[in-house]
Structure 1
Amino acid sequence: MLQYPTWKKVLVLLICLAGIVFTLPNGFYGRVEQANDARAALEAGAAPTSEMTAALEGWPGFLPATLVNLGLDLRGGAHVLVEVQVEDVYAERLEALWPEVRDALRDLRGQVGTIRRVETTPGELRVRIGEQAAMNAAVDAVYGLTQPVATLTGAGARDYEVRADGDELVVTLSEAEKTATDNRTMEQSLEIIRRRVDETGTREPTIQRQGEDRILVQVPGLGSAEELLAIIGQTAKLTFHAVEQVTGEADAQTTGGNLLFPAMDQEGVYYILERRPVVSGEQLVDAQPGFDQNGRPAVTFRFNPAGGRAFGNFTAENIGQPFAIVLDEQVISAPVIQSHIPGGSGIITGNFSLEESTRLAILLRAGALPAEIQVLEQRTIGPELGQDSIDAGRIASLVAFVAVMVYMALSYGLFGLFANLALILNVALIFALLAIIGATLTLPGIAGIVLTIGMAVDANVLIFERIREELKNSRGPARAIQLGYEKAFSAIVDANITTFIAAVILFAIGSGPVRGFSITLGLGIMTSLFTALMVTRLFVSMWFDARRPKTIEV
């Protein structure tokens, strides 16, 4: 009798059953996807509809609902290549430096005389002083504001260069600091775009840097490239300002450097605001779609402790006064402060639809892009093209599957049927693992599955051939089967380990479709080892225990 402990039989059967259960939702992909979307909408606070109810009834909640992510080439979606305008950050850095330069020169007013900022081209900060003879002292004072560049390429360099040009002091970013700023800008842009896309619940997007200032974004399942750009293309810069005046003139004069911004939802209404914001979006820690007291869509927000204190102090000191909530240089709301608002939380109201409030909350949570982005390329891959790829992959898989099963049945008889049943379970386990770990299935990934189908029976072929050799050596059936598995074990493991190493290398150095292929190949190797060494042996053992044959044919 073959040695196969009861606990091991139970464990193998439970693993196979789990694989079938977790693979099952992928056989009803559209139905499960609709049910998942309906549940997500309800959890987000959306009002139930008949369509949601029908979707939920289409797939019971007690069943697993984890799906295999389909890549862009299978599901269709949006492809966008953008260029980050990193030069925009240079001007912002110099603008932020101006108050420090002004204060440093004011301390030397007795020497430098008058101080006046000169309008100039972007990338330069020019300050004219009254006493040109004191220019060296002015340069030294401003140079004292500079800091070493935190980059290996600029070791020993300072972040700003300060020089004299007649009676004007000129401040620019150093080349080392520009390089460091470019890298920081790209890293921040990548992270913010990733957070914005992830907030939409999109499955397995591809977001990666290309070259020095470009970012590639591919999102499977999204309706169009325009929809993707609507998510990632806005700067979503949120600030809160004190209101100086409301006017109907688009060219109204401002004083003291105040700002003039239009109202988002009121045509012909403009607000004159204090330039310095009370609180900025960088101090925002959370934003969620919700509803106001009248049941209209709105956005609730919450600041960090520092922002909460500033917001609380401002509202306490300005009760009865309006304050403006500004998003991307448009006033989206200008409520009157009714009372002190402690705790740093509040609500943004406006003429929002539920979709607009949800998108605004996403943009605010993700933060502002550090620089504008320019679209270089955009494509929408329709689901029909993806369906063609799925159909072609399905045909290839079925042909390979049937061919292998027919060969095994004809070559090894009953043992070949055991191998075929294990092969079916092998494919189920692959899809179950893909769903559980959240991997993305691409067209090369389907190729990896087809390759796995052929490799999966390779181990069984080695085992069955070993069993034949032992039978020829006059071994009894039980002993021949046991020796067949034992002697083929090392060859099977060695062959699969070498292939698995190749899959790991492909995953480590590859990207996109190459990774998709390596993932399915690696998972297929693991499931093939399990089904060949454990599942087929279980079937043979159970059959042998039940029949106790005196002779066998393999």
Structure 2
Amino acid sequence: MKILNYRLIIFILSIIFGVAFSMPSFLQTNSGKKISLGLDLQGGLHLLLGVKTQEAVVSKIKSIAATVKYYTDDEEILIEDLSINPDSVTFTVLDPDEVKRVDDMLKKIKGLVISKSQDNNYELTLTPQEIALTKDQAVSQAVETIRNRLDQFGLAEPTVIRQGKTDIVVELPGIKTQADEQAARELISKPANLELMAVDEDRADQVYTMSGSEASQYGDIILEDAKDPAKKYLVKEIPILNGSQVTDAQVAFDKSNQAIINFTLNSIGAKVFGDFTAKSVGKRLAIVLDGKVYSAPNIRERIGGGSGQISGGFSVVEAGNVAIALRSGALPASVELLEKRSVGPSLGADSIKASMIALIAGFALVVVFMIVYYGMAGVIANVALVTNIFIIIAIMAMFGATLTLPGMAGIVLTVGMAVDANVIITERIKELLRNKVSITKAVEDGYSNAMRAILDANVTTLLVSVILYVYGTGPIKGFAITISIGILASMLTAILGTHGIYESLLPKMNREKNLRKWFGMK
């Protein structure tokens, strides 16, 4: 019988893989992929955020008003008194012959309640179902937006999960300094709501004597300049475009070497932008970010290509953060900080120390027991156990997984589970040997007879791990991932790897026939 066989070759390759890809994590080298430590192991920042979902409903109302304005302008339908209320949009169609076209357009907007008087006065509101859906989507979108921002910011393995109807939990491992904390909080909470708004040129000179309520009578709002709060702008309340049409935003520098932000619009935004600028030559367009006017340049000609520029005395860091926020999307509603906890690294050091003691103690006890009780079969099982740990660390490192305290508990539990399959196999072999079966047949039949029990046990545990991952939160997900990888690795090492070792050693076993040495039998 050949010493090398395909099972042994696969097992040797798995050992090489496990050692090679786990060493950067064990040695903490500068190169290679490593496992990131979670918040509970290395310390960091824990935030509980609340989403102001009603703002998303108001934003939805404004979006409907913008759609009505763009459609009626594009189709040259005359309307008047287009205004936005907290929960509705109102306007009047002047030409009765155009009412059907307006109705057909409005019917295409989902979740809209259309109220119309005999004088063609329209009031548009959202259905209760649409309001509930908008609020729910606002929280879900906020989770994705915050996660995208933190990923682009370069923070390692942030955890962003929804909690309840309106809250979001954010965990940022590795945030230890006040400066890092402030930068992360500003990035998370920045609305990044970009709007292109028309300046009301007819009443612009009255902005310093006009109140907000007076401006609203003309469909206008008063905004401050981003650099000089004393400077005011009177702009149309309904924006021409908003950040939802932005597809890209990058930091650049102008002729005076000041940081600026170049943004690009999608095809719909480019068309709206081009049409508006063509009709508004000689007027001003205010570029508004989070309710502040950064610039209001004169439109000299139609602007095609769907691109624009934001300048406003940004520092390079500020411009970078704004660009990240624009690329990842505006928050559909602002968020407020409900709770903040700073987790010190000392907790992580204590947790790691306790977990390592448990891991080493559990590992040592299992190794000693297997050798004493099963002899050389126990040594073979221990080789599979060590390989199993290397493979777990290697796979987690390859995928950039975060190791948390529950994850370490999963590794400790896997140490015991990893030898379980070998115990079943060895006991089956010993049963056959007691019945005077040859060693070769006992090994082959032992693996065959143990296969169903091993598969049943591992598959059921794997199913539970999948359920924990799907329905669990961050730490539970980490535990489920570790257990799942450990189960799959143990099936590779126990079923395939140890079988290959036995096959290569069978000639020596048959010559010696020392069952006490090889299987711990009396």
1:80 and 2:47 are equivalent in the alignment: yes
- SS for the counterpart of 2:47 is strand
* Per-residue deviation, 1:252: 5.2
Q: Summarize the alignment of residues 461-476 of structure 1 with structure 2, pairs less than 5 Å apart.
A: 461-476=423-438
1:20 and 2:6 are equivalent in the alignment: no
Residue-by-residue CA offset, 1:418-461 (whole Å, 9 max, x unaligned)? 22222111001111222334444321221121111011112222
1:154 is aligned to none
Gaps of 5+ in 2: 93-99
CA distance in structure 2 between the aligned counterparts of 1:293 and 1:505, rounded to whole angstroms: 57
1:236 and 2:203 are equivalent in the alignment: no
1:67 and 2:37 are equivalent in the alignment: no
Q: Choose the corresponding residue for 2:346, options 359, 371, 384.
A: 384
- Structure 2: which amino acid aligns with 1:394? M
CA distance in structure 2 between the aligned counterparts of 1:415 and 1:248, rounded to whole angstroms: 92
CA distance in structure 1 between the aligned counterparts of 2:209 and 2:325, rounded to whole angstroms: 30
Residue-by-residue CA offset, 1:28-53 (whole Å, 9 max, x unaligned)? 34x44xxxxxxxxxxxxxxxxxxxxx
- The answer as to whether partners of 1:236 and 1:363 remain within 8 angstroms in 2 is yes
Q: Summarize the alignment of residues 146-161 of structure 1 with structure 2, pairs less than 5 Å apart.
A: 159-160=112-113
- The answer as to whether partners of 2:161 and 2:168 remain within 8 angstroms in 1 is yes
- SS for the counterpart of 2:449 is helix
CA distance in structure 2 between the aligned counterparts of 1:292 and 1:309, rounded to whole angstroms: 26
2:145 is aligned to 192
- The answer as to whether partners of 2:391 and 2:489 remain within 8 angstroms in 1 is yes
Residue-by-residue CA offset, 1:488-518 (whole Å, 9 max, x unaligned)? 3333223222322332333333333222222
- SS for the counterpart of 2:339 is strand
- Structure 2: which amino acid aligns with 1:514? I
Closer, same or farther: CA 201–117 of 1 in aligned 2, 3 Å: closer
CA distance in structure 1 between the aligned counterparts of 2:249 and 2:448, rounded to whole angstroms: 61
- The answer as to whether partners of 1:83 and 1:215 remain within 8 angstroms in 2 is yes
1:422 is aligned to 384
2:293 is aligned to 331
CA distance in structure 1 between the aligned counterparts of 2:267 and 2:78, rounded to whole angstroms: 37
Closer, same or farther: CA 6–346 of 1 in aligned 2, 3 Å: farther
Residue-by-residue CA offset, 1:135-189 (whole Å, 9 max, x unaligned)? xxxxx99999975996xxxxxxx7337599xxx9976544344323323333333
* Per-residue deviation, 1:327: 0.8
CA distance in structure 2 between the aligned counterparts of 1:9 and 1:265, rounded to whole angstroms: 70
Closer, same or farther: CA 87–229 of 1 in aligned 2, 3 Å: same
2:96 is aligned to none
Closer, same or farther: CA 243–200 of 1 in aligned 2, 3 Å: same
1:514 and 2:476 are equivalent in the alignment: yes
* Per-residue deviation, 1:98: 6.1
- The answer as to whether partners of 1:149 and 1:177 remain within 8 angstroms in 2 is no
Q: Summarize the alignment of residues 345-360 of structure 1 with structure 2, pairs less than 5 Å apart.
A: 345-360=307-322
CA distance in structure 2 between the aligned counterparts of 1:85 and 1:417, rounded to whole angstroms: 60
CA distance in structure 2 between the aligned counterparts of 1:279 and 1:516, rounded to whole angstroms: 42
CA distance in structure 2 between the aligned counterparts of 1:118 and 1:149, rounded to whole angstroms: 18
Q: Summarize the alignment of residues 393-472 of structure 1 with structure 2, pairs less than 5 Å apart.
A: 393-472=355-434
1:216 and 2:187 are equivalent in the alignment: no
2:95 is aligned to none
CA distance in structure 2 between the aligned counterparts of 1:145 and 1:311, rounded to whole angstroms: 21
* Per-residue deviation, 1:547: 8.2
CA distance in structure 2 between the aligned counterparts of 1:86 and 1:397, rounded to whole angstroms: 46
* Per-residue deviation, 1:85: 1.9
- Structure 1: which amino acid aligns with 2:385? L
**Which has the bigger relative contact order, CA under 8 A and spacing at least 6?**
2
Closer, same or farther: CA 10–126 of 1 in aligned 2, 3 Å: closer
- The answer as to whether partners of 2:260 and 2:310 remain within 8 angstroms in 1 is yes
1:523 is aligned to 485
1:370 and 2:332 are equivalent in the alignment: yes
- The answer as to whether partners of 2:385 and 2:418 remain within 8 angstroms in 1 is yes
Closer, same or farther: CA 204–81 of 1 in aligned 2, 3 Å: same
- Structure 2: which amino acid aligns with 1:72? L
TM-score (norm. length: structure 1):
0.75
Which has the larger displacement, 461-470 or 355-364? 461-470
Q: Choose the corresponding residue for 1:344, options 295, 301, 306.
A: 306
1:41 is aligned to none
- The answer as to whether partners of 1:426 and 1:527 remain within 8 angstroms in 2 is yes
**CA RMSD of the aligned region, Å?**
4.5
- The answer as to whether partners of 2:195 and 2:243 remain within 8 angstroms in 1 is yes
- Structure 1: which amino acid aligns with 2:38? G
- The answer as to whether partners of 2:195 and 2:240 remain within 8 angstroms in 1 is yes
* Per-residue deviation, 1:23: 1.3
CA distance in structure 2 between the aligned counterparts of 1:477 and 1:357, rounded to whole angstroms: 73
- The answer as to whether partners of 2:5 and 2:503 remain within 8 angstroms in 1 is no
- The answer as to whether partners of 1:237 and 1:368 remain within 8 angstroms in 2 is yes
- SS for the counterpart of 1:26 is helix
Residue-by-residue CA offset, 1:317-355 (whole Å, 9 max, x unaligned)? 888986543211223345677887542234434433332
CA distance in structure 2 between the aligned counterparts of 1:287 and 1:175, rounded to whole angstroms: 36
Q: Summarize the alignment of residues 167-182 of structure 1 with structure 2, pairs less than 5 Å apart.
A: 173-182=126-135
- SS for the counterpart of 1:216 is strand
* Per-residue deviation, 1:374: 2.4
* Per-residue deviation, 1:414: 2.9
CA distance in structure 2 between the aligned counterparts of 1:161 and 1:339, rounded to whole angstroms: 38
- SS for the counterpart of 1:80 is strand
- Structure 2: which amino acid aligns with 1:238? L
- SS for the counterpart of 1:378 is strand
- The answer as to whether partners of 2:5 and 2:504 remain within 8 angstroms in 1 is no
Q: Choose the corresponding residue for 2:496, options 524, 528, 534.
A: 534
Closer, same or farther: CA 118–511 of 1 in aligned 2, 3 Å: closer
Closer, same or farther: CA 184–118 of 1 in aligned 2, 3 Å: closer
Identity of matched residues, %: 36
- Equivalenced residue count is 501
- Structure 1: which amino acid aligns with 2:321? R
* Per-residue deviation, 1:118: 9.6
CA distance in structure 1 between the aligned counterparts of 2:53 and 2:405, rounded to whole angstroms: 35
- SS for the counterpart of 1:431 is helix
